[in-house]
């Protein structure tokens, strides 16, 4: 399966929605890679990031996206700066084709927020606000039909067949040579297939599938990290941990702890 995004249409859609609502919007593909965005310039975030850096913001977005991916539905949370952010999956023909990040809102309720200096407090009060009814209406507007002409799914029988095989044989040898032999294709054909339909190398695709499975096991089971390594077909635990941290910015243990803590309501 290959997902084709019409960047011009998506950018126009996000721009119009952002102008209408006053909030920042970003569309990401299924690998959390930015496709397009329309971010409102607000003095509060600019000042806060100047003081604290952008790493907290990126980590907050990643945590929210992971919650959204796991639940398959709209998720909200308060970011580290006390702003209200949301993420929702964009679904077409029953398939998740990306994620929409919506944020930089003052919360409908008042959570316990960091203590700001006087200037930041004034800037926080200028951040856009939507009440619960407005947020619900926005969610209704962001239905599949809104993206119908901007995202297309292209299918390739060979790519789908190999992908299904990889997902169900993670503990097997999944080298390029083994896959070529299994599906009677040349190396060049296999490389081209994955480059065209997944925009990844074969090995990078296999790593992504293994790490996605590991994330699911970390959040839905109590299996040890070592056991999860074996289940997803990576026998070397230190190597697995390096791959995982490179992908998520967290160790497997920290990722599990973070998702566990984020499942509790913030007060």
Give the total number of structural domains in the chain: 2
pLDDT of res. 19:
85
Q: What does the pLDDT average to over 22-41?
A: 85
Q: What does the pLDDT average to over 91-111?
A: 73
The verdict on 145 and 181 lying in the same domain is: no
pLDDT at position 220 over 90: no
Among 153, 186, 206, residue at a domain's last position:
153
Interatomic CA distance for residues 234 and 219, integer angstroms: 18
Task: Tell me whether residue 267 is in a domain.
Answer: no
The verdict on 56 and 128 lying in the same domain is: yes
Q: Are 229 and 237 in contact (CB under 8 A)?
A: yes
Contacts 24+ apart (CB under 8 A), 127-132: 127/42, 127/44, 127/83, 128/21, 128/22, 128/23, 128/40, 128/42, 128/104, 129/105, 130/21, 130/23, 130/105, 132/108
The verdict on 60 and 118 lying in the same domain is: yes
The verdict on 73 and 101 lying in the same domain is: yes
The verdict on 142 and 163 lying in the same domain is: no
Identify the top-confidence range among 18-27, 41-50, 115-124.
18-27
The verdict on 118 and 87 lying in the same domain is: yes
The verdict on 27 and 146 lying in the same domain is: yes
CATH value at residue 187: 1.10.10.60
Among 137, 119, 192, 125, smallest CA distance to 162 is for 192
Among 103, 126, 153, residue at a domain's last position:
153
The verdict on 160 and 149 lying in the same domain is: no
Among 135, 153, 171, residue at a domain's last position:
153
Which pLDDT tens digit goes with each residue over 59-79?
888 888 988 888 878 888 877
The verdict on 121 and 184 lying in the same domain is: no
CATH value at residue 107: 3.30.450.20
Task: Tell me whether residue 90 is in a domain.
Answer: yes
Query: pLDDT band at 55, cuts 50/70/90?
Result: confident
- Which domain does 42 fall in, by range? 2-153
Query: pLDDT band at 264, cuts 50/70/90?
Result: very low
Q: What does the pLDDT average to over 201-212?
A: 92
Percent of the chain predicted with pLDDT > 70: 82
Ramachandran category for residue 98: left, alpha or beta (phi over 0 → left; psi -120 to 50 → alpha): left
Whole-model pTM: value is 0.58
pLDDT at position 1 over 80: no
């Amino acid at each position: 399966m290959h997902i084709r995004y019409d960047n011009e249409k998506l950018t126009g859609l996000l721009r119009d929605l952002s102008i209408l609502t006053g909030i920042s919007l970003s569309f990401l593909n299924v690998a959390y890679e930015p496709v397009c965005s329309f971010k409102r310039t607000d003095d509060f975030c600019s000042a806060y990031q100047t003081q604290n850096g952008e790493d907290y913001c990126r980590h907050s977005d990643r945590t929210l996206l992971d919650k959204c991916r796991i639940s398959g539905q709209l998720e909200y949370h308060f970011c580290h700066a006390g702003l209200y952010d949301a993420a929702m999956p964009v679904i077409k023909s029953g398939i998740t084709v990306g994620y929409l990040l919506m944020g930089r809102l003052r919360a409908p309720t008042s959570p316990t927020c960091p203590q700001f200096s006087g200037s930041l407090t004034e800037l926080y009060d200028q951040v856009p606000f939507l009440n619960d009814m407005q947020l619900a209406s926005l969610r209704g507007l962001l239905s599949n039909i809104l993206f119908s002409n901007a995202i297309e799914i292209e299918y390739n029988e060979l790519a789908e067949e190999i992908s299904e095989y990889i997902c169900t044989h993670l503990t097997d040898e999944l080298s390029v040579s083994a896959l070529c032999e299994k599906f009677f294709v040349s190396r060049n054909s296999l490389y081209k297939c994955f480059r065209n339909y997944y925009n990844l190398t074969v090995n990078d695709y296999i790593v992504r599938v293994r790490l996605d499975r590991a994330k699911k096991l970390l959040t839905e089971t109590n299996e040890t990290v070592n056991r999860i390594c074996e289940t997803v077909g990576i026998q070397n635990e230190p190597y697995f941990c390096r791959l995982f941290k490179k992908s998520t910015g967290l160790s497997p243990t920290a990722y599990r702890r973070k998702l566990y803590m984020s499942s509790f309501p913030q007060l």
